[in-house]
């Protein structure tokens, strides 16, 4: 089992915030991307962050967006669509969306509209 599975989402969230804000994007946009992927609303996302939910539990309770399989590309040298472990693939989907947000990609493209 990967260490990231037992890490809390709240421990990584500030890193996501720093990454997107450094590139001129907002926390609201980050939250929109996370909610789009997971199916959580803003209140549910905040509750998970406040509770220190692990990535394993966070994604176990999520209703992954039906268009999540359209997320492709490379994160940390690994092709997202080739990750075999379902939980790790979901975490990589999130990483990829945060990368796209930080790189200035238009929101409608990030959300696979």
Count of the separate structural domains present in the chain: 1
Domain membership of residue 113 (yes or no) is no
pLDDT score of 22: 97
17 lies in which domain range?
3-107
The rounded distance, in Å, linking the Cα atoms of 55 and 10 is 9
Q: 10 Å Cβ neighbour count for 98?
A: 23
pLDDT (tens digit per residue) in 38-54: 999 999 999 999 999 99
Task: List pLDDT tens digits, range 93-102.
Answer: 999 999 999 9
Burial class (CB in 10 A: 0-12, 13-18, 19+), 22: exposed
In a domain, 41, yes or no: yes
Distance CA 74, CA 97 (A): 11
Q: What is the pLDDT of residue 15?
A: 97
Q: Is residue 100 part of a domain?
A: yes
Is pLDDT at 2 greater than 90 in this prediction?
no
Report pLDDT for 72.
95
Residue 112 in any domain: the answer is: no
Average pLDDT over residues 50-79: 95
CATH number at residue 57: 1.10.8.290
The pLDDT assigned to 113 comes to 83
On whether residue 10 sits in a domain, the answer given is yes
């Amino acid at each position: 089992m990967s260490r990231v599975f037992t890490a809390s989402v709240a421990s990584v969230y500030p890193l996501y915030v720093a990454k997107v804000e450094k590139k001129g994007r907002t926390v609201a946009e980050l939250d929109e991307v996370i909610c789009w992927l997971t199916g959580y609303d803003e209140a549910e996302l905040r509750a998970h962050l406040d509770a220190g939910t692990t990535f394993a539990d966070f994604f176990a309770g999520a209703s992954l967006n039906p268009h999540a399989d359209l997320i492709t590309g490379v994160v940390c040298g690994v092709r997202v669509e080739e990750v075999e472990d379902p939980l790790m693939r979901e975490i990589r989907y999130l990483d990829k969306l945060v990368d796209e947000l930080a790189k200035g990609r238009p929101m409608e493209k990030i959300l696979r509209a």
